[in-house]
Amino acid sequence: MPGIKPVMTEQMASSPTIANSIVSLRDVGKTFDSGVVALAGLSLDVHAGEFVSLLGPSGCGKSTALRIVAGLSAPSRGTVEWPQGHADAAAGAIGFVFQEPTLMPWASVARNVELPLSLAGVAQAREAVATALAHVGLADFAAAFPRELSGGMKMRVSIARALVTEPRLLLMDEPFAALDEITRFKLNNDLLLLWQALRRTVIFVTHSVFESVYLSQRIIVMTPRPGHVFAEIAIPAPYPRDERFRTSAEYAGYCRQVAETLAAAMGERG
Amino acid sequence: MSGRVLRLVLPALLLAIVVVVWEATVRFFAIPAYVLPSPALVFGALIDDRALLFNSLLVTLGLTFEGFMLAAVGGIVLAMAFNQWRLIEYSFYPYAVILQVTPVVAVAPLLLIYLPQHLAVLACAWIVAFFPVLANTTLGLNSVDRNLMALFDLYKASRWQVLMRLKLPAALPQILTGLRIAGGLSLIGAVVAEIAAGSAGAGSGLAYRIAESGYRLNIPRMFAALLLLSLVGVAIFLALSALSHLVLRRWHESELRAEN
């Protein structure tokens, strides 16, 4: 698409310095045993306290990138650096939210949320669980079982579980993709309020242009497989963002810019 | 009438009809009791021989229960070992299958040669009952949600934590299915072994009573013992179904009522 150039240089200049980065991927590649090359030469910095989205088509390796950051998958090439000290889920420094709620159906909401703490042998978890459930608006549902909840509520439980260790870094892998639009909008708003209140760093993987623009300070557009960074786009709209932002001309403008960048990225073979 | 009532009334009605026709046939054709005893005679044997039959019932129940418990514990523990150590699975699994596919009726006489009768009966009950527990538990342990595995991985859960807090609870529905099948099979195994022991045996279980009554042409008592055996089987099934319901009712799909 003519007129669209990767905007990396300008964006890098305006973004915080590397020293402020919480995690840096350097030339990360991932080749699966099957021979599929998911990532090739992915480099990106995530800054402390920011809300950044990875946007790309299905299969571009964005989920793989997230799993590498989480330590669930080892990169075949390149390095993952933690300038502010290693963040480790076992130490409670990383929270992960999957596309599905991924709850234990045999355990109550409270015991699901408590899981990261109880696996680490934390005895007094009651208060932390109550706080996490209050954050997602489910304080009254501690004793409920997952099957008694709606899809949106299950996802809230999943977010509460990721927050219960008070992580520095929250990784979210298309968490709202399976929800209906009304529920998704509501959870978008609640997630933003939570982010503003808690100021955790969030890496949010999505294939929705609209969702990424609504939520993020910065969007990293990835190419199709093998994925790497095609462009970074800042969304400087102020927070709090609410439904008025969703219908504003400003929002529509950003969406067009991101959609055009994504279309250009789709045209590029990695 | 609602479906629920019909489910109880119809089988009861059918039973009543069969009993009445049976009684009438025996009387009308004057069939001797050593060929086909009337229901009244069978009921009479049940009352008259109640002390003897009750003792036999206790023996059979005890053996079946012991065999079932051994099968349950053995099957679950073996499945856990298979799940944790692949080499153990590779080594033992073929033999578990061989034990399962060899008809226990053919194995029982051999076991009776080498083992005391009590142990031989137990072994038969165990052989037929443990495999469904093993197979179902293995299936359950292997069908854990991938994302939940990743979650436990993320929080650096130990192998033991993954097994006890994720795999075993996730496998509970399959384990309970295995147990329900094993309950009925352990009764069959115990009965087969006792019948095989036959006249040589010193046993006193219900199956032994059936064999013994057969030799003595005491057909009413045969029927009475058979009736008790069926009741034992039904009781085992109901007990295990109730257990399954109690364990799963709060969370598993199979326990959800259809909502309109």
Segments of chain A with pLDDT less than 50 = 1-17, 270
**Does B155 touch chain A if contact means CB atoms closer than 8 Å?**
yes
Interface membership of A94 toward B (CB under 8 Å): yes
Interchain pair B151, A98: CB under 8 A:
yes
Distance from CA of B60 to the nearest CA of A (A): 36
Quick one: how far is CA A257 from the chain centroid? 21
In a domain, B260, yes or no: no
d(CA B242, CA B63): 21
pLDDT value, residue A43 = 93
The whole domain housing A154 covers 107-167
Q: Looking at residue B179, which CATH number applies to its domain? A: 1.10.3720.10
Using the predicted structure, report yes or no on whether residue B253 has a pLDDT greater than 50. Answer: yes
Shared domain for A30 and A146, answered yes or no, is no
Judge whether A95 lies within some domain: no
pLDDT score of A9 = 39
> Which of A76, A79, A80 lies closest to A34, judged by CA?
A76
Residue that the structure tokens 């060899």 belong to? B102
The verdict on whether omega for the bond into residue A224 sits within 30 degrees of 0, i.e. cis, is no
- Whether residue A133 lies inside any domain: the answer is yes
In a domain, A93, yes or no: no
| Residue at B189 is within a domain | yes
Examine the pLDDT at B173 and tell me if it is beyond 50: yes
Residues B22 and B41 in one domain: no
Beta carbons of B219 and B35 less than 8 angstroms apart: yes
Nearest CA in chain B to A173: B147
Model pLDDT, residue B201: 55
Residues B26 and B48 in one domain: no
Task: Look at B250 and A145 and tell me if their CB atoms are within 8 Å.
Answer: yes
Of all residues in chain B, the one with the smallest CA distance to A90 is B155
Q: Which two tokens stand for residue B71?
A: 């099968």
Q: Give the residue-averaged pLDDT of B105-115.
A: 88
**Cβ of A90 and B156 within 8 Å?**
yes
Token pair 């008694």 in the structure block, residue: A148
Contact flag A98-B161 (C-beta cutoff 8 Å)? no
Across the interface, whether the CB atoms of B152 and A106 are under 8 A apart is answered no
Nearest to B197, CA basis, from B101, B59, B34 = B59
Chain A touched by B245 (CB under 8 Å): no
- B44 and B8 in a common domain: no
Of B155, B166, B256, the CB nearest to A89: B155
Consecutive H or E run containing B132:
helix B117-142
Identify whether residues A114 and A214 lie together within a single domain: no
* Domain membership flag for residue A101: no
Identify the pLDDT of residue A178.
87
Answer with the one of A118, A143, A167 that is the final residue of a domain.
A167
Is B27 in the same domain as B40? Answer: no
Are B156 and A72 a contacting pair at CB < 8 A? no
Look at residue B197 and tell me whether its pLDDT is greater than 90: no
User: Which of A143, A167, A191 lies at the terminal end of a domain, its last residue?
Assistant: A167
Residues B157 and B206 occupy one common structural domain: yes
Q: A94 lies in a domain?
A: no
Q: Are residues A111 and A153 in the same domain?
A: yes
Does residue A24 sit in the same domain as residue A44? yes
A222 at the B interface (CB within 8 A)? no
Q: Are residues A163 and A198 in the same domain?
A: no
- A55 plus A181 within the same structural domain: yes
**Cβ contact, residue pair B252, A98, below 8 Å:** no
Same domain, A176 and A262: yes
Closest by Cβ to B155, choosing from A90, A98, A100: A90
Q: Are residues B241 and B149 in the same domain?
A: yes
pTM of the predicted structure, to 2 decimals: 0.82
Identity at A103, one-letter amino acid code: L
Give the model's pLDDT for residue B112: 87
Higher pLDDT among residues A112 and B190, named by residue: A112
Which residue of chain B has the CA closest to A106? B251
**Three-state SS sequence of chain A:** CCCCCCCHHHHHHHCCCHHHEEEEEEEEEEECCCCCEEEEEEEEEEECCCEEEEECCCCCCHHHHHHHHHCCCCCCEEEEECCCCCCCHHHCCEEEECCCCCCCCCCCHHHHHHHHHHHCCCCCCHHHHHHHHHHCCCHHHCCCCHHHCCHHHHHHHHHHHHHCCCCCEEEEECCCCCCCHHHHHHHHHHHHHHHHHHCCEEEEEECCHHHHHHHCCEEEEECCCCECEEEEEECCCCCCCCHHHHCCHHHHHHHHHHHHHHHHHHHCCC
Q: In what order do the strands lie in the sheet with A169-173?
A: A94-97, A169-173, A201-206, A51-55, A218-222, A229-234
What pLDDT does B259 receive? Answer: 45
Residues A128 and A191 in one domain: no
Nearest to A106 among B147, B150, B169 (CB): B169
Tokens 């109901």 appear where? B238
For residue A173, what are the β-bridge partners? A205
Digit-coded pLDDT (tens) for B54-79? 999 998 899 899 999 999 999 999 99
Same domain, B144 and B129: yes
- B175 CA to chain A: closest CA distance, Å? 14
Same domain, B10 and B43: no
Averaged pLDDT of chain A: 87
Q: Which pLDDT score, from 0 to 100, does residue A60 have?
A: 84
Domain check: are B116 and B218 in the same one?
yes
**In which domain, by residue range, is B6 found?**
1-31
**Is B167 an interface residue toward A (CB < 8 Å)?**
no
How many Cβ atoms sit within 10 Å of the Cβ of residue B48?
A: 14
| Mean pLDDT, rounded, of chain B | 89
Same domain for B5 and B99, yes or no, is: no
Domains: count for chain A? 2
Instruction: Tell whether B159 and B240 lie within a shared domain.
Output: yes
Confidence of residue B138 (pLDDT cuts 50, 70, 90): very high
Decide if B206 contacts B225 (C-beta within 8 A). Answer: yes
Do A125 and A160 form a contact (C-beta atoms < 8 A)?
no
| Helix (H) or strand (E) run with residue B40 in it | helix B39-48
Average pLDDT over residues B80-99: 91
Q: Do both A154 and A77 map to the same domain?
A: no
Q: Which residues of B touch A96 (CB under 8 A)?
A: 150-151, 154
Structural domain total, chain B: 2
**What are the DSSP calls for B163-200, one per residue?**
IIIIIHHHHHHHHHHHHHHHHHHHHHHHHHHHHHHGGG
| Contacts of A189 by beta carbon, 8 Å cutoff, 6+ apart | A242, A243
Residues B209 and B88 in one domain: yes
Q: What is the DSSP letter of B249?
A: T
Q: Is the pLDDT of residue B208 over 90?
A: no
- A253 and A175 co-located in one domain: yes
Q: Is B147 on the interface with A (CB under 8 A)?
A: yes
Q: Which of A86, A96, A106 to mutate to test the interface with B (most CBs of B within 10 A)?
A: A106
- Nearest residue of B to residue A162, measured between CA atoms: B151
Residues A255 and A123 occupy one common structural domain? no
B251 touches chain A (CB under 8 A): yes
User: Residue A226 sits in a domain of what CATH number?
Assistant: 3.40.50.300
Say yes or no: B10 contacts chain A, CB-CB below 8 A: no
Do the chains contact at B256 and A147, CB–CB below 8 Å? yes
Do A57 and A180 sit in the same domain of this protein?
yes
